[in-house]
Each structure stands twice: as structure tokens, then as C-alpha cells.
Structure 1
Amino acid sequence: MSSNRSGPKSASSTPAELPLLGAPVRERADAARNRIRVLTAAETLFAERGVDAVTMDDVAATAGVGKGTLYRRFGDKAGLAMALLDERERELQDRLLTGPPPLGPGAPPPDRLAAFIEAYLDFLTRQLDLVLLSETAATGARFRTGAHTLWRRHCRHLLETGGTPDAEVAADVLLAALAAEQVRHWLREREMEPAALTQSLVRLARAWLPGTPEK
């Protein structure tokens, strides 16, 4: 979710409304190998110990790279979290832009919005601590990512197309509900089941679309 992927580009049809996450930066073969080793090590350690219990030194030692190399490439643990999330965000982007409906183009706005909420919550719950780290590394961090720009424009476009009043604010409200910190509160402190949370947010979003029957 790094900010260097925030530059908007265009595609055809409905995807023209959306910015794209930028293409991966080309790198030397040895740098690419080190990057893969670091991300593989980080993903394994985060899964085994939890994000909070893993240090950058742990990652460097497991990956077999120097600490200087690790810090120069990723900056800090939040930067490492963003890099790990990058590929997964790209997969979700591809499904939004060119995948089959209802998540991809071709379905009515209410169904596409419901599919986005379901897909994003699934993505989020699979790596909740990583997303939380990347979103809270600094004040307002989540608003400065290319991914947030993409999700926001997608939601706003569907809400506007579906006739929602104040679609701009409605998109912000929906994404605030999908922030990692809020979702963590619901799932871990309130002990909501992911399926129940998804159903509630989908029902709320559908209520914003005039004439949409409740499902």
C-alpha cells in the first residue's frame, strides 16, 4: 500500500473511473532475489509470531541479508508490511477492473458494491495486523496510499451511479467502516463473526442506493 503507487492512470469502460496501482519497479536480478527472500521471511515470521513480535533484525537474519540492506529497501516494519500487501492489493484491483461480475464490470451498482465489501473484508481479515500496521504507521497514512485512492473512487463511482445522495461522503463513511482499526475492534473486542460483519455492512451500503431491495 505504498504511496509510490498512487499515480492515477486510465483504462477503458467502467475502469476509467479508477486509478491503477502502478506496475512493479524493475530491479537488478540480485536485488529482486533479496526482495523475494526478505518478503518470504517476513511473511513466515509474521504468520508464526504475529506482527508485533517480529523485529526488522529477525527478518534480516531469517532472510540472510544485511540489516542495512533491509532498512535501505523498506525503511521500517511499516514499509515492509506495505510491500507484503502490494501483491495482494494488485490481485484485488485486477478482479475489480477486469474480473467477472459482480465484483468486476457488468453487474448493477448495488451488487458490485456488495461484492467489493465482501472481497475487501476477506482480504482484510486474512492480513489484518499487516494492514493495521501500514494504515497507522503515521497520522493519516491510510489516506495517502494508492490503494485507498482506488477503493475510494470505486465506491464513489458505484454510489453515484446508483443514485446515492452525497456519494462522496458516503464513500468516505463506508471506507472508514472498513479501516483496519475499526474492523479489528469489531472482530476482536466486540467478537463479531466476519460473516455477520460483512452482512451488516452490505445491508447498510444497499440502504444508501435508492430503490435497492434489501438482501
Structure 2
Amino acid sequence: MNSPVIPFGRPRPERADAARNRELLLETMRAMIAEDGVEKLTMDGLAEQAGLGKGTVFRRFGSRAGIFRALIDEDERRFQESVLAGPPPLGPGAGPVERMVAYGRARTAFLVERHAIARASLERDHPAPAGEGNFSRVHLRMLIGLADRELADPDTLSVQLASALEGAFLLFLQDPGSDDRALEGAVRPVADSWQLLIERLFRP
């Protein structure tokens, strides 16, 4: 692949009032989650706190899970922008191995910090988003190519590496027995293991 870009793009053009309502709802959600946590956030409560009609919230998000998908999608867009255009070593300007290490560490922290939102964004009938991990796979494939190592199957390797970051965490984040301290404690060992794996694979 020649480009790490996933077409996450920008939201489709909206009317000015719709765009204002969306930003208001997202900011209100963040404030409510910070104050009371994810479990207590409801569509009725969000509408009341934002000073909007309940129908407006339903039209915007469709369901309670849709509220959290919108929030995590916004965070995901910002994360991808930092990878594609932010400062090194996560963004351009560092060597490919350094960028792979930085990406794994940043992605681990990103997922753990949003574990409750990620769980709440899952619909019962669709527990695993179909496109999960595509950005990681394409980005890592680009960096593998830049690392200039003779690998038999870099495409498969990029899938396996992306799965190490995304797939295992999806399962872990869905575990209802996982508490905040256990998740926070997982960040460093997972990130350290990722760095060891990348350096063993790609360092001369």
C-alpha cells in the first residue's frame, strides 16, 4: 500500500444549526461523563442538560449506543490526525521503527482511556464493528515498508500486528469484570511488550 490514509474524512456538510447542535451535544456528553461516568448517561438526561428536545437527540444518534459511537468516532478522528500530521515520533519525522513503537504505545493508551465509552458504543446485535483495526493495519503496513526489511509477507504481518493492538483489546474491553485499576495497570506491560516485539522484528 502506498498511503497510510484511511478515508475517515470530515463529517458530511451540515446545516449550521445541526452542526451547532452536534457540537453542543458532544461537549455536554463529555461533561456529563466526567462528572457522573458513562453508566449514568441517558438520552433523556443528555437532551435536558443540552437544552434540546429529546427528538433532536434521537434523530442525531438513533440510540444510546449511537451517542457513544459519535463520541468515540470524534476521538478516533483526532487520534488519526495526530498520527498522520502530528509531531514525531507518533507523527511524521521519525524513523519507521520509532513510529511503530510510538503508535503501539499511543494506541494502547487511547483504547484504555476510552474503555467504558467503547463498551457503551456496542450494540447488542452487532458487538464488534466490522471496520475495527483498518487504520492500524494500513498505517503499520506503510511503516513496515519504510523499515526496509526483507520480510516474506509484510501484508500478513501488518494484519497480525494490528490485531495485537485492536483485537485483543476489543475482547478485554468487553469483559464486565474489568475495573479501571486493572485496565490502567495493563497499559504499561502491553506497551512494553509491543515495543519489545517491534524492536526484535525490525532492529538490525
Per the TM superposition, whether the score is higher than 0.5 is yes
> Mapping of 1:47-66 within 5 angstroms?
47-66=34-53
- Say if 2:112 and 2:184, in contact at 8 Å, map to a contact too: no
Equivalent position to 1:40, from 27, 41, 46 = 27
User: Corresponding residue for 2:194?
Assistant: 201
Change (3 A) 1:137 1:21: farther
The superposition leaves residues 121-157 of structure 1 with CA deviations (integer Å, 9 ceiling, x where unpaired) of 2322332211233356543533335xx3222211233
The answer to whether structure 1 residue 31 and structure 2 residue 18 are counterparts is: yes
- For 1:103-114, what aligned pairs fall within 5 Å after superposition? 103-114=90-101
Give the AA of the match of 1:197.
V
Query: What is the CA–CA distance in structure 2 between the aligned matches of 1:138 and 1:27, rounded to whole Å?
Result: 29
CA distance in 2, matches of 1:194, 1:170: 19
Contact 1:159–1:171 (8 Å) recurs in 2? no
8 Å CA contact 1:96, 1:103 repeated in 2: yes
The reply to whether residue 156 of structure 1 matches residue 107 of structure 2 is: no
TM-score, normalised relative to structure 1 = 0.75
After TM superposition, the structure 1 stretch with the greater mean CA deviation from structure 2, 158-167 or 98-107, is 158-167
SS at the partner of 1:192? helix
Residue in 2 that maps onto 1:167: 157
Comparing 54-63 with 84-93, greater Cα deviation is found at 84-93
Give CA deviations for 1:94-117 in whole Å, capped at 9, x if unaligned.
222122322123433321111101
Report the alpha carbon displacement of residue 46 of structure 1 after superposing the two structures with TM.
1.6
Give the count of matched residue pairs: 196
Distance 2:97 2:105 in 1: 12
Aligned partners of 1:150, 1:67: CA distance in 2, in Å?
A: 34
- Which amino acid in structure 2 is aligned with residue 78 of structure 1? A
CA positional deviation for 1:52: 1.8
- Return 54-63 or 102-111, whichever deviates more: 102-111
Alignment CA distance shift 1:135-1:116 (3 Å): farther
Quickly say closer, same or farther: Cα 1:195–1:129, change in 2 above 3 A: same
Q: In 1, are the aligned partners of 2:112 and 2:183 still within 8 Å (CA)?
A: no
User: What is the alpha-carbon distance in structure 2 between the residues aligned to residue 70 and residue 167 of structure 1?
Assistant: 42
The separation in 2 between residues aligned to 1:110 and 1:158, in whole angstroms, is 7
**Residue 134 to residue 157, structure 1, CA distance change in 2 (3 Å):** farther
Match of 2:109 in 1: 122
Query: For 2:54 and 2:185, how far apart are their aligned partners in 1?
Result: 40
- Decide whether the 8 Å contact of 1:121 with 1:178 is kept in 2: no
- Superposed CA RMSD in Å reads 2.9
